[in-house]
Amino acid sequence: MKLPEDLLQEFTNKLSQLPKGPGEDIKKNMQSVLQGLFSKLDLVTRDEFEAQQAVLLKTRSKIDALEKTVAALEATLQPSAPSKES
């Protein structure tokens, strides 16, 4: 899926190939319409996404380490295997 900036750039490139005059007006109008639509969407920037991704990766590694610690603690706290009494 293309990012809104990519779509806008592609659209602008296509419009720039139109003859001058009406093409310029259409280009300006469509750019403002598209920018208005994109601003209404709940989008994040690439930088915000990458920052959040880094936080999530760090959190995941901490959770993995904690799970290993808990598993080790549970193993030491469990009573030894019950002996069979006849």
Q: Are 31 and 12 in contact (CB under 8 A)?
A: yes
The whole-angstrom separation of Cα 28 and Cα 32 is: 6
Q: Is the pLDDT of residue 73 over 60?
A: yes
Q: Is the pLDDT of residue 2 over 70?
A: no
Q: Is the pLDDT of residue 86 over 80?
A: no
Of residues 1 and 11, more confidence is placed in: 11
The whole-angstrom separation of Cα 86 and Cα 82 is: 12
Q: Are 7 and 34 in contact (CB under 8 A)?
A: yes
Mean pLDDT of 50-65: 97
DSSP symbols for 5-34: HHHHHHHHHHHHTSPTTHHHHHHHHHHHHH
Going by pLDDT thresholds of 50, 70 and 90, the confidence category of residue 3 is low
Q: How far is CA 39 from CA 2, 18, 61, 68, 80, in A?
A: 16, 26, 34, 44, 62
Query: pLDDT for 13-57, tens place per residue?
Result: 777 776 667 767 777 787 788 778 877 877 788 899 999 999 999
Is the overall model pTM greater than 0.75, yes or no?
A: no
